[in-house]
């Protein structure tokens, strides 16, 4: 049975940065979050159709982030060292940042966003199916390429509405010694850090290791290892294999235990999280209203999906935030979804330093703080794990 514990209100698509002509046709949905008592999975109550999100204008280019290039390189090297991999399949290959670390002739990609599929097919010359991941597609790939020793996916599996079909499709393509490795934000990290802004249209599910343990088993798969990562504000790298007689690594048992101790199996834990989210909204609005009444200028670094969720949930618009700055060319000179706060490029920030900078690309804090060190003299605002003003980091 699914029980609701959080209502983040009417929300636009978090990544649809738009121009003024598009305001009238902007799409909104109700962002409510439920906990499934049977599987322990956290999901959105109402899913958005993938065609509305993952289209040929999807703006997130992984290769624009130096730490993410490093992350995927290190991950690829680790997988090559630790597993015997003849053939690799990547689900949700984006701009090829991960797959580039493997030989073209051993690799197949699946990427529904047309802009990336065209790029990896034509520019990088990696075979890319420009389609959504389904059992039907897995059959087509199997008939052309056979099975794979590694199926890898980062920040994609939790983006897929139909998990039953997703896991079935993965099991369908794994060799006997094969491993299905996927990374997604961790439910435990979100609850511990009060990072409710990780929950939005593109993330219809928020995975705990416990929920995956329950779900994978229904499709002939089992957990064999879990790596806890810091990327994207706390993620888990899940390793699954076809059900076997081998015991899982200790990391699986440790993670399940830690989650149980934190209360991830209990609905009440999520209700408490919901209360902390409401408090976070009140505290943030207090700070922003005070700054406004003191005549201070506040801006935001990072036109992230996360910022869209926070602004729309808290009702924060251009009255409270002067502007957002972002380094991504496709976001610059557009408006933020729903609240329509202007997005300017980084130079504008350098020339117009505000009194307060709200760090909404908080998952890139180290990189940003290092860049601004000695230059930006104003104060910082953060909301995770608690709403706070910082004179310095
Ligand atoms: P992400 O949270 O989905 O990775 O998106 C981070 C966004 O923040 C992305 O649009 C780029 C932007 N950004 C900046 O504007 N300045 C920076 O220094 C960094 C690291 C990211």
pLDDT tens-digit series, residues 24-61: 999 999 999 999 999 999 999 999 999 999 988 887 88
Same domain, 136 and 243: yes
Nearest residue (by CA) to ligand 1, atom 1, is 304
Same domain, 195 and 336: no
Mutation test of ligand 1: which of 305, 327, 383, 393 has the most ligand atoms closer than 8 Å to its C-beta? 327
Given this model, what pLDDT does residue 123 score?
Answer: 97
Angle between helices 305-314 and 267-293 (to 10 degrees): 80
In angstroms, rounded to a whole number, what is the distance separating the alpha carbons of residues 45 and 34? 6
* In-domain check, residue 373: yes
Same domain, 47 and 166: yes
In angstroms, rounded to a whole number, what is the distance separating the alpha carbons of residues 192 and 83? 32
Length in residues, the chain:
393
Same domain, 187 and 243: yes
Q: Which domain holds residue 97?
A: 41-264
Given this model, what pLDDT does residue 60 score?
Answer: 83
Nearest ligand 1 atom to the CA of 326 is 15
Same domain, 362 and 284: yes
Given this model, what pLDDT does residue 284 score?
Answer: 98
Residue ending a domain, choose from 220, 246, 264: 264
In angstroms, rounded to a whole number, what is the distance separating the alpha carbons of residues 295 and 364? 29
* In-domain check, residue 184: yes
Residue 183 burial (10 A CB sphere; 0-12, 13-18, 19+): buried
Same domain, 50 and 189: yes
Nearest ligand 1 atom to the CA of 327 is 15
Same domain, 105 and 248: yes
With beta carbons less than 8 A apart as the criterion, state whether 79 and 152 touch. yes
* In-domain check, residue 232: yes
Same domain, 74 and 193: yes
In angstroms, rounded to a whole number, what is the distance separating the alpha carbons of residues 144 and 43? 34
* Residues of the chain scoring pLDDT < 70: none
Nearest to 7 by CA among 38, 29, 36: 29
Same domain, 193 and 275: no
Given this model, what pLDDT does residue 67 score?
Answer: 86
Given this model, what pLDDT does residue 87 score?
Answer: 98
Half-sphere exposure of 318 (CA within 13 A, CB side): 10
Same domain, 152 and 301: no
Nearest ligand 1 atom to the CA of 371 is 18
Residue 321: CATH number of its domain: 3.40.50.720
Residue ending a domain, choose from 264, 288, 311: 264
User: Which DSSP symbol is given to 207?
Assistant: B
* In-domain check, residue 221: yes
Given this model, what pLDDT does residue 189 score?
Answer: 98
Mutation test of ligand 1: which of 301, 333, 364, 375 has the most ligand atoms closer than 8 Å to its C-beta? 364
Q: What angle do CA 184, 324, 376 make, to 5 degrees?
A: 100
* CA distance to 141, 224, 245, 266, per residue, from 248 (Å): 29, 4, 9, 24
Given this model, what pLDDT does residue 346 score?
Answer: 93
Ligand 1 pocket by C-beta < 6 Å: which residues? 60, 301-304, 325-328, 331, 361, 363-364, 367-368, 371
Mutation test of ligand 1: which of 16, 155, 185, 326 has the most ligand atoms closer than 8 Å to its C-beta? 326
Residue 184: CATH number of its domain: 3.40.50.150
Strand 235-242 and strand 221-229: pairing? antiparallel
CA 151 to ligand 1 center in whole angstroms: 27
Q: Mind listing the pLDDT tens digit for each residue in 141-160?
A: 999 999 999 999 999 999 99
Same domain, 209 and 277: no
In angstroms, rounded to a whole number, what is the distance separating the alpha carbons of residues 127 and 249? 33
Nearest ligand 1 atom to the CA of 302 is 8
Q: Domain total for the chain?
A: 2
Angle between helices 209-217 and 250-262 (to 10 degrees): 120
* In-domain check, residue 66: yes
Residue 145 corresponds to which tokens in the numbers above? 């390429």
Q: Which helix (H) or strand (E) holds 167?
A: helix 163-173
Given this model, what pLDDT does residue 61 score?
Answer: 87
Q: Mind listing the pLDDT tens digit for each residue in 67-85?
A: 899 999 999 999 999 999 9
* In-domain check, residue 135: yes
Same domain, 108 and 221: yes
* In-domain check, residue 36: no
Nearest to 336 by CA among 348, 328, 324: 324
Cross-strand bridge partners of residue 28? 12
* CA distance to 13, 41, 85, 102, 160, per residue, from 47 (Å): 11, 14, 35, 34, 10
Q: Is the dihedral of CA 247, 251, 257, 263 positive or negative?
A: negative
* In-domain check, residue 25: yes
Residue ending a domain, choose from 232, 264, 296: 264
CA 328 to ligand 1 center in whole angstroms: 7
């Amino acid at each position: 049975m699914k029980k609701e514990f959080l209502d983040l209100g009417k929300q636009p698509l978090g990544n649809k940065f738009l121009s003024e002509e598009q305001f009238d046709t902007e799409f909104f949905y109700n962002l409510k979050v439920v906990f499934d008592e049977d599987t322990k999975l956290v999901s959105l109550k109402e899913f958005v159709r993938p065609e509305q999100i993952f289209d040929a204008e999807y703006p997130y280019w992984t290769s624009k982030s130096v730490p993410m290039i490093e992350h995927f390189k290190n991950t690829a090297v680790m997988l090559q060292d630790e597993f015997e991999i003849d053939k690799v399949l990547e689900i949700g290959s984006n701009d090829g940042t991960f797959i580039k670390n493997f030989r073209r002739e051993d690799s197949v990609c699946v990427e529904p966003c047309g802009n990336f599929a065209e790029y990896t097919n034509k520019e990088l010359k990696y075979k890319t199916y420009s389609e959504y991941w389904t059992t039907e597609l897995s059959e087509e790939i199997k008939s052309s390429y056979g099975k794979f020793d590694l199926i890898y996916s980062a920040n994609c599996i939790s983006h897929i509405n139909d998990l039953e079909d997703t896991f079935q499709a993965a099991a369908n393509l794994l060799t006997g010694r094969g491993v299905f490795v996927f990374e997604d934000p961790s439910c435990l990290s979100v609850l511990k850090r009060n990072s409710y802004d990780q929950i939005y249209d593109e993330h219809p599910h928020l995975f705990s290791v416990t929920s995956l343990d329950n779900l994978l088993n229904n499709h002939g798969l089992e957990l064999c290892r879990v790596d806890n990562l810091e990327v994207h504000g706390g993620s888990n790298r899940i390793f699954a294999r076809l059900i076997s007689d081998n015991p899982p690594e200790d990391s699986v048992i440790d993670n399940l235990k830690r989650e149980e101790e934190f209360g991830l199996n209990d609905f009440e834990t999520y209700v408490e999280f919901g209360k902390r989210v409401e408090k976070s909204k009140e505290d943030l609005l207090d700070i922003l209203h005070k700054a406004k009444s003191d005549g201070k200028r506040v801006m935001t670094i990072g036109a992230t999906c996360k910022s869209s969720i926070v602004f729309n949930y808290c009702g924060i618009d251009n009255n409270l935030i002067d502007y957002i700055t972002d380094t991504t060319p496709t976001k610059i000179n557009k408006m933020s979804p729903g609240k329509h706060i202007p997005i300017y490029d980084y130079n504008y920030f350098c020339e117009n330093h505000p009194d307060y900078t709200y760090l909404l690309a908080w998952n890139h804090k180290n990189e940003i703080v290092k860049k601004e060190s000695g230059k930006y003299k104003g104060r910082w605002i953060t909301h995770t794990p608690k709403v706070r003003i910082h004179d310095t980091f």
